[in-house]
Copies of this chain bind each other. A is one copy, B any other.
Amino acid sequence: MTEARPLTISDLAARTGLRPDTVRYYERVGLMPEPRRTSGDHRRYDDLAVDRLQFIRGAQRLGLRLHDIRDLLAVRDTGECPCEPAEPLLRSRIAEIDAELDRLQHLRADLVAMADQLPSATCPDPVPGTWCPPDHRVTEGRCDACSI
């Protein structure tokens, strides 16, 4: 069977697409438990560690923060399914993402409007002056109300 043979930290890292430093970092911040060590103080891991790191990666892919992932892991460690506490977490991340999408869509629209009018209108009179977002009207090469 493919049991036993313990993994070094870089074996583990390689299997999970991380770097050894990152694994040590996860240990420091409490995502990974302290592993057993060789007599020479080198970390040795088993497949549970691989599983745990994959859980972390999966949760990260879902846009969760290490802070939240730590909480889910704590639940998981009790032997319970982390789904129950995960759902509100996911819902609130969705809300955050919606807010960010909204912000970016508005921003994008502003940028496009700005970029489109740039080559033509605003530039007749190369004078140092205010250069404004597109929702501020420009009169005679100058911005009316650039109070933001």
Q: Is residue A91 within 8 Å, beta carbon to beta carbon, of the partner chain?
A: yes
A83 neighbours in B (Cβ, 8 Å): 118-119, 122-123, 131
Assuming the contacts A101-B105, A108-B98, asked whether A90 and B115 have C-beta atoms less than 8 A apart, the reply is: yes
Q: Which residues of B contact A59 (CB under 8 A)?
A: 131
Most chain B C-beta atoms within 10 Å of own C-beta, residue among A80, A108, A131? A131
Please encode chain A, from 134 to 146, with 1 for each CB lying within 8 Å of some chain B CB and 0 for all others: 0010000000001
The reply to whether B148 and A57 contact each other, CB–CB distance below 8 Å, is: yes
Interface size, A (range)? 35 or more
- In the complex this chain forms, how many copies of it are found? 2
| A71 partner residues in chain B, CB cutoff 8 A | none
Task: Please encode chain A, from 31 to 55, with 1 for each CB lying within 8 Å of some chain B CB and 0 for all others.
Answer: 0000000000000000000010011
10 shortest interchain CB distances as A-B pairs: A90-B115, A81-B123, A54-B146, A83-B118, A81-B126, A83-B123, A87-B118, A63-B107, A58-B132, A97-B108
